[in-house]
Amino acid sequence: MRIRPIQLETSNRFIPHYRSEKDDVMEFFSYRPFESLERRVLDLQSRPFQRQALTEALHKMNTDWDAPVATRRQIERLKDEESVVVIGGQQAGLLTGPLYTLNKLISIITYAKEQEQKLNIPVVPVFWIAGEDHDYDEVNHIYTNRDEKLYKHTFSQPLYLKQSISHVEIDKQEMYEWLQQAFMDIGETEHTKNVYETIDQCLKKSTTIVDFFAQLLFKLFPDEGIVLIDSGHESIRSLESDWFIQMIEKQPAISEAIYQTVQKLQQKGYEVNVDVEQHDAHLFYHDENNERILLKREAELFVGKNDEVSLTEEELIEIAKNHPNRLSNNVFTRPMMQELLFPTLAFFGGDGEISYWAVLKSAFRALDDGLQVPPVIPRLSLTYVTKRLEKLVDTRVLAMDQIVNNGIEQEKMNWLLSQSHPPIDTLFQEVNKQINDIHRPLRALAKEISADLDNEAQKNFEYIQKNITYLEQRIERKLTEKYDLQLAQFEEIARMLKPKGLLQERVWNPLPFLNEYGLDLFQKIVSNVAELSVKERHYTLYLD
């Protein structure tokens, strides 16, 4: 494998300023992202953690997902009072979801190994599956190639309630049909049979989408000791009871801290894509159908955002005490709960997540004066380049930096237009200029004679221009047909490396890469990216 850094272009000032550790951004965080972590280790040693109860819950979850021996050993290490974790998370997407999920996992695994060597203490890699989330439309599909086009392959099982993903049971028959169609789209290779049978085994052992997700992650990373946690699991909820009570009691201070910080960030000119109101409770309540209801504060009551429920503070505290599974966190209180559960050495996030964490420093202190936002490290961002794609890029003489940043639409059109002599656009620009020059005296004469003739002359000129444009489009269409093969190469490059105008990792699923290179692909990648710096915005990874 060969790896090359790429400088990503961005119009958002926040992330470049964060990566360069500018003071006006760093004031929103407790630690700088690339500093040594000795101070963080000392800070963690002063705080207590429910290590025994946590390891018991993790053992149960991970064993239910057929966790490998390496994972079970890592869970045991969490009983060590000196042990810490490197953590990050994502929703449970089908077939692991977009590539950025695995890129985040790779970041966590490699960084944990690196820090264990540096700090000489146990550092455990943990992946937080956001099972409490309910955005089903975000996780129920993958993209495939169908008829040489990007196709959104959606799992058609309906979801009528806003339930947490942890509680969504899979319709196995529907899923098998969905899976078979996905494999029809990717074609057959020497690895197809093994990849399909492995995924099939994971599906057979799964009840929910989270189960399916976790089982497959362990198949892709069997030797790395990654520890998985489902944030929506009942055994975790029981550990969170007291902290839910604190969040309820201190909700006004937490909500005000979040609101004020968002205002401050915006006043500094930083884009923070969050919708925050002063009276948001930043907690969800789960009703008798396990439907998730976002709460807000109205005077002395906690009410549903659409008035679905109304609870006093005392009633909500009673629920937290006796039925904590009826509560869950939103995007702002989830990091707090994670920090209370785990001795977190560092958190790995994408650009959007880092923006969210910038809002939390004062809110953490509002919950507990000694609670600090952990070091927030940008995850690795990778574009995977297959041997075929590398050859196509070379054939079309394209620059990878240009593709990743801006796509190739302009290059494709320039190439097409250059195939005629003289180039079509130049020729028609000249024709339009000459016709304008020829027609101008006629328009001037018509204007002198009468207003009616002036209008007629203008319409006549516009009619001529319209017909010339029509002819230009017809010629371009014929040229396109003539150069179908070359244009298909441009389209394939764009579809695989800059799909929908986005980074590859935001659209493509690992499936086509597993199909081409085998199930051990990401194990090999872990070995090859161990020395990569998280300071770089992006890398292209050439798969041999």
For 164-200, what is each residue's pLDDT tens digit?
788 888 999 999 999 999 999 998 999 999 999 999 9
Residues in the chain, total = 544
Residue 104: C-alpha distances to residues 88, 137, 476 (Å): 7, 21, 44
d(CA 361, CA 356): 10
Domain boundaries, the chain: 1-273+330-381+505-544, 399-504
- Compute the average pLDDT of residues 92-98: 94
- Compute the average pLDDT of residues 78-85: 97
* 299 dihedral zone (left: phi>0; alpha: psi -120 to 50; beta): left
Report CA torsion sign: 260, 26, 112, 142: positive
CA angle 526, 337, 217 (to 5 degrees): 30
- Compute the average pLDDT of residues 450-472: 91
Instruction: State whether residue 400 is helix, strand or coil.
Output: helix
- Compute the average pLDDT of residues 469-479: 85
Per-residue model confidence (pLDDT) at position 429: 84
For the cut 70, the answer to whether the pLDDT of residue 420 exceeds it is no
**Burial label, 380 (beta-carbon count in 10 A; 0-12, 13-18, 19+):** buried
Q: What are phi and psi of 138, to 5 degrees?
A: -80, -25
d(CA 505, CA 118): 30
Q: Which two tokens stand for residue 10?
A: 């961005």
Give percent helix, percent strand, percent coil of the chain, each to the nearest 5. 55, 15, 30
Residue 135 DSSP code = -
Per-residue model confidence (pLDDT) at position 229: 96
Q: Which two tokens stand for residue 240?
A: 């969170």
**The CATH number of the domain covering residues in 1-273+330-381+505-544:** 3.40.50.620
- Compute the average pLDDT of residues 443-461: 90
For the cut 80, the answer to whether the pLDDT of residue 427 exceeds it is no
Mean pLDDT of the chain: 92
Going across the sheet that includes 227-230, the strands are 227-230, 123-129, 84-90, 344-349, 376-378
Which of residues 479 and 395 earns the better pLDDT score? 395
Report CA torsion sign: 527, 528, 531, 533: negative
Residue percentage of the chain with pLDDT more than 90: 74
What is the tens place of the pLDDT at every residue in 305-356? 888 899 999 999 999 999 999 999 999 999 999 999 999 999 999 998 999 9
For the cut 90, the answer to whether the pLDDT of residue 412 exceeds it is no
pLDDT class of 422 with cuts at 50, 70, 90: low
For the cut 70, the answer to whether the pLDDT of residue 160 exceeds it is no
Q: Which two tokens stand for residue 92?
A: 């449970």
Query: Around Cβ 40, how many Cβ atoms within 10 Å?
Result: 22
Per-residue model confidence (pLDDT) at position 232: 87
pLDDT class of 428 with cuts at 50, 70, 90: confident
pLDDT class of 161 with cuts at 50, 70, 90: low
480, 487 contact by CB (below 8 A): yes
Residue 12: C-alpha distances to residues 17, 403, 464, 516 (Å): 9, 20, 45, 36
For the cut 90, the answer to whether the pLDDT of residue 17 exceeds it is yes
